Chain A
Amino acid sequence: AQSVTQLGSHVSVSEGALVLLRCNYSSSVPPYLFWYVQYPNQGLQLLLKYTTGATLVKGINGFEAEFKKSETSFHLTKPSAHMSDAAEYFCVQDTGRRALTFGSGTRLQVQP
């Protein structure tokens, strides 16, 4: 079965601190992986995606993620958190055989 696991439903960091949101995927075929963000009262929007090629991908707002096949991971990072980063983040996989599979989400809080 294909699934996405996000470790930590809530993460709290101080403004300026490193953001690390963890994601592990489970897929029988190499997946395409995405991170989506959902701000309060807004729709989901794409932060970044991994398809093929370079395993370190950069997205909007200074976020990046690294695809590690050996660890089946796709963790999301940002060197320095900003208050505006407070949102819910979803790790998503697409194996091409069915529609997108979402993780359960991680709510990021940024403390001043």
Chain B
Amino acid sequence: DTGVSQNPRHKITKRGQNVTFRCDPISEHNRLYWYRQTLGQGPEFLTYFQNEAQLEKSRLLSDRFSAERPKGSFSTLEIQRTEQGDSAMYLCASSLEMANTEAFFGQGTRLTVV
């Protein structure tokens, strides 16, 4: 297993377009997280899944954002009608179910909305 994989690594899109990112977690990990990181800030929690169930969504997550993890394996994060303020690094992480275990992060997808 090569760790958490995110695709694409970079995405440039025009304002108003929809974009979709994919995350492939470490295979035996039940938990999957999405975070957003802007320049000079720490990652902000967006949402997380335990297996296929989306257990929590941040209030930061507007209705233009949707995430799925259909079979409890890979996950997708879609942003509809992108805005310039959506430009950020989108990070995915996965972990085992227990709270005190390490979360492994992917290298992220950098979104630029022009």
Instruction: Identify the A interface with B (CB < 8 A).
Output: 6, 9, 32, 34, 36, 42-46, 49, 51-52, 90, 94-96, 98-105
Contacts and interface: CB of A to CB of B under 8 A. Distances in A.
Contact of A100 (B40, B41, B45, B108): B45
A101 B48 CA distance: 13
Given A43-B4, A43-B91, A99-B48, 20 more contacts: A6-B42, A32-B100, A36-B105, A42-B107, A43-B105, A43-B107, A43-B108, A45-B105, A49-B100, A94-B99, A98-B45, A98-B48, A99-B56, A100-B33, A100-B93, A102-B35, A102-B42, A102-B43, A102-B44, A103-B42
Given A42-B107, A100-B33, A90 B100 contact: no
Nearest to A45: B105
Contacts, number: 55
26 contacts: A6-B42, A32-B99, A36-B105, A43-B4, A43-B91, A43-B106, A43-B107, A43-B108, A44-B43, A44-B105, A46-B102, A46-B103, A49-B102, A90-B43, A94-B99, A94-B100, A96-B100, A98-B56, A99-B33, A99-B45, A99-B56, A100-B45, A102-B43, A103-B42, A104-B42, A105-B40
B-side interface size class: 20 to 34
- DSSP class of B's interface residues: helix, strand, loop or mixed? loop
Given A49-B100, A98-B56, A105 B41 contact: yes
Contacts of B56: 98-99
Contact of A95 (B43, B93, B99): B99
Contacts of A95: 99
Contacts of B35: 102
A32 B103 CA distance: 12
Interface in B89-114: 91, 93, 99-100, 102-103, 105-108
A90 B45 CA distance: 14
B75 to A, nearest CB: 13
Identify which of B4, B43, B108 gathers the most chain A CB atoms within 10 Å of its CB: B43
Identify which of B45, B91, B99, B108 gathers the most chain A CB atoms within 10 Å of its CB: B99
